[in-house]
Amino acid sequence: MNNRKDSKTHGIDKYHHFDDSNDGDISGQLKSVYANWADAYDDDNDNKLGTVSQPNTVAMLTRHCQDPQAQIMDVGCGTGLVGLHLQRAGFKNYDGTDISTEMMSHAKARGYRKLLELDPTQQLAADENSYDAVLCVGVFTHGHLGPEGFDELIRITKPGGLICFTVNEGVWDEAQFDEAIEAHVENAVWRILEQSKMDYMVNEGVEAWYIAAQKLG
Ligand SMILES: C[S@@+](CC[C@H](N)C(=O)[O-])C[C@H]1O[C@@H](n2cnc3c(N)ncnc32)[C@H](O)[C@@H]1O
């Protein structure tokens, strides 16, 4: 018997039709979407959406960091697909954090040192200046997190460390990501090492901006 949840009424469909316009409890809605989607997420990621953001972002990281002992935080780690690619690239020390315990339950087997539940109204459970690299893949997207999320990524990154993230092209203009990124450049908070628009969800014809920034000390 196939116990897989019907994606028309669960996870991927709710993700596609996520509505952040009519209710203040966005994180509660997101938790519910991802609790429903967790078991089918990896299969949908690969076979329905054709998402390539995880290998692309880890490849971007490796262009700027080759130290297998680098301390890495994966923010919005979900089921740990980024961790899978970090492991394949030889990285040994990576932690993950997410608002969904159901998603993170799948990440346990993917080499994470610590997996921390995140309350998005609070600071990340990490000290400032504590990571050599902070990744955030698939989280700057419709109804999830806006450019205000940069502050926490920057806070926990060591001076000289890397911040690598994706931004869905569909929220780039509306949420003024370009302006927010540029403001941090002008304020000498970070410098941009790479910024390019590439494939994101190939089967849906959606691209994302991929950005690697270096925190200035
Ligand atoms: C599209 S999934 C991406 C998961 C994983 N990074 C990947 O690439 O497969 C988005 C993830 O972001 C998490 N999330 C949503 N809002 C968040 C927030 N404000 N901060 C951190 N994670 C969040 C969700 O629970 C979900 O696991």
- Domains in the chain (CATH in brackets) are 11-49 (no CATH), 53-215 (3.40.50.150)
Summarised one tens digit per residue, pLDDT across range 46-89 is 999 999 999 999 999 999 999 999 999 999 999 999 999 999 99
pTM of the model: 0.93
Distance CA 40, CA 52 (A): 17
Confirm or reject: Cβ of 133 under 6 Å from ligand 1.
Answer: no
Separation of CA 183 from chain center: 21
Closest CA to 95 of 125, 65, 67: 125
**For all residues of the chain together, what is the average pLDDT?**
92
Cα(78) to centroid of ligand 1, in Å?
Answer: 5
Ligand 1 contacts CB of residue 72 (under 6 A)? no
Tokens describing residue 137? 């893949």
State residue 91's pLDDT score: 98
d(CA 54, ligand 1 centre) in Å: 12
